[in-house]
Amino acid sequence: MRKKLFPPRRPATTSSNHISILFTIYVVGCCTFRAQAFMQRVATSIIVKRHAPPITQYSYYPHQFARRTLLMSSLQYIDAGANLLDSMYQGTYHSKPRHEPDLDLVLRRAYDKNVHKVISLAGTIKESEELMELIHNLDSEKKKEEEGVKVFGTVGVHPTRCAEVFAQETSPSTTEEGASWIPKTEQEQKEIIQQLIDLATRGKESGNIVAIGECGLDYARLQFCPKEIQQLGLRAQLEVAIETKLPLYLHNRESGDDLYGLLLEYKDRLCQDGSDNNIRGIVHSFDESIEIANQFLSLGLYIGINGCSLKTADNLQVVKQLPSDRIILETDCPWCDIRPSHASAEYVQTTFPTKKDKQYTRELGEEFCVKNRTEPCHVAQIAEVVAGIRGEDVEEVAKVCCQNVYDLFGSLEKKR
DSSP 73-134: SS--EEEEEE-TTSGGGGTEETTEE-S---HHHHHHHHHHTTEEEEEE---SHHHHHHHHHH
User: Cβ of residue 154: shortest distance to Zn ion, in angstroms?
Assistant: 11
Q: Which residues pair with 168 in a beta bridge?
A: 182
CB of 324 to Zn ion, least distance (A): 23
Segment 15 to 54, residues that bind Zn ion, using CB under 5 A? none
Q: Which is nearer to Zn ion, 40 or 285 (CB)?
A: 285
Smallest gap from residue 214 Cβ to Zn ion (A):
5
Phi-psi domain of 328 (left: phi exceeds 0; alpha: psi -120 through 50; beta: other): beta
Q: Which residue's CB is nearer to Zn ion, number 120 or number 285?
A: 285
Q: Of the two residues 116 and 251, which places its CB atom closer to Zn ion in the complex? A: 251
On whether the CB atoms of residues 155 and 247 are closer than 8 A, the answer is no
Chain CA centroid to CA 188, Å: 32
CB of 186 to Zn ion, least distance (A): 28
CB of 286 to Zn ion, least distance (A): 10
Q: How far apart are the first and last CA of the chain?
A: 45
Smallest separation, CB 282 to Zn ion (Å): 10
- Distance (Å, whole) CA 348 – CA 387: 10
Q: Which is nearer to Zn ion, 158 or 280 (CB)?
A: 158
Nearer to Zn ion by C-beta: 159 or 365?
159
Nearer to Zn ion, 91 or 156 (CB): 156
Site residues (CB under 5 A) for Zn ion, limited to 187-246: 214
- Give 8 or 156: the residue with its C-beta nearer to Zn ion: 156
Residue 253 makes contact with Zn ion by CB under 5 A? no
Question: Based on CB atoms, which residue is closest to Zn ion, 218 or 357?
Answer: 218
Q: Per-residue b/e over 119-134, b at no fewer than 16 CB within 10 Å?
A: bbbbbebebbbebbeb
Pairing of strands 248-253, 281-284: parallel
Q: Give residues 116-135 in contact with Zn ion (rule: CB under 5 A).
A: none
For 150-187, b where at least 16 C-beta lie within 10 A, e where not — what string? bbbbbbbbbbbbbbbbbbeeeeeeeeeebbebebbeee
Q: Give the CB-nearest residue to Zn ion.
A: 251
Residue 251 in the binding site for Zn ion (CB under 5 A): yes
Question: Within positions 255 to 294, which residues make up the interface with Zn ion, using CB under 5 A?
Answer: 285
The site for Zn ion, by CB under 5 A, has a size of: 3
C-alpha to C-alpha distance for 181 and 233, rounded to whole angstroms: 13
Residue 161 contacts Zn ion per CB under 5 A = no
CA quadruple 145, 149, 153, 159: dihedral sign = negative
Segments of 245-401 assigned E as strands: 248-253, 281-284, 302-305, 327-329, 354-355, 369-370
Among 255, 200, 197, 247, smallest CA distance to 226 is for 255
Which of 286, 157, 308, 161 has the alpha carbon at shortest distance from 223? Answer: 161
CB of 251 to Zn ion, least distance (A): 4
- Closest to Zn ion by CB, 283 or 402: 283
Q: In angstroms, what is the minimal distance from the CB of 304 to Zn ion?
A: 9
Binding residues for Zn ion (CB under 5 A): 214, 251, 285
